[in-house]
Structure 1
Amino acid sequence: MGHREQLLAAARQLLEDKGYAHITARDLVAASGTNLASIGYHFGSKAGLLNAALGVVFEEWTTQLTTAALAEPDASPIERAHLAWAALLDSLTGRRALLVSFMEALAQADRDPALRDQLAQMYRRTRRRVAELVAAALEVPPEDPRCTAVASWVMAVCDGLSMQWLLDPASTPAGEHLLAGLADLRTVSEQR
């Protein structure tokens, strides 16, 4: 494993242990067994390294939720969204520290243009992946603006559920309750 990979692994662990706002460059060097120059060489700055580590975590989580959404081959597009939201809710407990780190990064993004750009790129990549799933479900090209709009809406629900859970986990629904409630709403809607 090279310095780049060592630094990313250390940054990821520190994001879980200390949170985004409390990690120093010395923490990263100590945890990775590398040196300060490696941070600058591979990532430009400590913030660049932490943002890259958040990007890796974000991509992994997106892949996990995509896998959940595609787990039922006969599911309708809306059922796939419901499955992804339920998987999100069920995975939050094990990701609390990383979710808090992500929120800390978001809070700093307005004052750090490079961070804002990195986070925006993460959202663009995720939106594109979700839009491709929507396009396949609707049997339209992924460039169709409706696909991007629906992808943005799906992501907004994920972000909103995550924020609710961070603030009040006991009042946030479990995945199975969300699925049951959404199924009941669909049934009522179809009956009208």
Structure 2
Amino acid sequence: MGHREDLLDGAKRCLAQKGFARTTARDIVKESGTNLASIGYHYGSKDALLAQAYVALVEDMGPAFEGGGEGSLPGEPGSLERFQALWSNIIGTMREPGSIWRLGMEALVMGDRMPEVRDHLARAQREAGRGLVPLLMGGREEDVSDETADTLGAFCVTLMTGLIAQWNFDPATAPDADRLTEGLRQVIAGMRLAENTTAS
């Protein structure tokens, strides 16, 4: 591995141990076995490196979202069964001790103090949504249009952000996938009733 990869791996370990605010550039250098100049050369700044490290940690969760492997989610694409299975897997990652999602809450709460982290993660949200769409609807990530990423993908990211907040704030009352799916089922039933009423 070169310095760029060493820095990224070191930053990921620092985030897991200390979070965004308490990680210093010297921590990353010590953890990665590199030097301070490498951070600026490869990433521009410590905060840009930390933001990319967090995105990499989230990407590492991809197999867990699928339940361990590609194509392992049950239910037809777009079905409530698929929705429930996907969100059950995602919520499962929030239940784990030391879940990385606490880092997302830290970035959200301290965004004004870490503008470079906030801006990088804001740009990454669209691609996060693009990655969630195929898990729910089937197909390939590269085929997801910008319009779908900005609608269905944004819906998924918004739902996920809310779940992260609730699971970090009070796990005892945070919704599980069953309650989430039942809520969606009620929304769909209400829409169908409204459509039938309008049609008659």
Give the structure-2-normalised TM-score: 0.75
Is the 1:25–1:46 Cα contact (8 Å) retained in structure 2?
yes
Please report how far the alpha carbon of residue 166 of structure 1 lies from its aligned counterpart in structure 2 after TM superposition. Answer: 0.2
User: Among residues 80, 88, 94, which one is paired with 1:86 in the alignment?
Assistant: 88
Which whole-Å CA distance do the structure 1 matches of 2:124 and 2:184 have between them?
A: 31
Corresponding position of 2:51: 51
Which whole-Å CA distance do the structure 2 matches of 1:22 and 1:147 have between them?
A: 33
Number of residues paired by the alignment? 187
Corresponding position of 2:152: 150
Which whole-Å CA distance do the structure 1 matches of 2:107 and 2:29 have between them?
A: 20
AA partner of residue 114 (structure 1): E
Please report how far the alpha carbon of residue 62 of structure 1 lies from its aligned counterpart in structure 2 after TM superposition. Answer: 4.4
Greater RCO (Cα-Cα under 8 Å, separation 6 or more): 1
Identity of aligned residues (%): 34
Is the 2:43–2:49 Cα contact (8 Å) retained in structure 1?
yes
Which whole-Å CA distance do the structure 1 matches of 2:180 and 2:116 have between them?
A: 38
From the two aligned structures, give the one with the greater helix fraction. 1
Distance 1:150 1:24, change over 3 A: same
Corresponding position of 1:13: 13
Which whole-Å CA distance do the structure 2 matches of 1:13 and 1:53 have between them?
A: 9
1:22 aligns with 2:31: no
Distance 1:131 1:72, change over 3 A: closer
AA partner of residue 29 (structure 1): V
Stretches of structure 1 lacking an aligned partner (at least 5 in a row): none
Is the 1:96–1:166 Cα contact (8 Å) retained in structure 2?
no
Please report how far the alpha carbon of residue 96 of structure 1 lies from its aligned counterpart in structure 2 after TM superposition. Answer: 3.9
Q: Deviations over 1:4-56 (max 9, x none)?
A: 11111111111111111100111111111111111111111110110110111
Q: CA RMSD in A?
A: 3.3
User: Among residues 119, 122, 137, which one is paired with 1:120 in the alignment?
Assistant: 122
Please report how far the alpha carbon of residue 108 of structure 1 lies from its aligned counterpart in structure 2 after TM superposition. Answer: 3.6
AA partner of residue 51 (structure 1): A
Distance 1:20 1:113, change over 3 A: closer
Moved over 6 A (4+): 186-189
Is the 1:86–1:179 Cα contact (8 Å) retained in structure 2?
no
User: Among residues 84, 108, 111, which one is paired with 1:109 in the alignment?
Assistant: 111
Is the 1:164–1:172 Cα contact (8 Å) retained in structure 2?
yes
Which whole-Å CA distance do the structure 2 matches of 1:178 and 1:83 have between them?
A: 12
Which whole-Å CA distance do the structure 2 matches of 1:142 and 1:183 have between them?
A: 23
Is the 2:6–2:33 Cα contact (8 Å) retained in structure 1?
yes
1:77 aligns with 2:89: no
User: Among residues 98, 114, 119, which one is paired with 2:100 in the alignment?
Assistant: 98
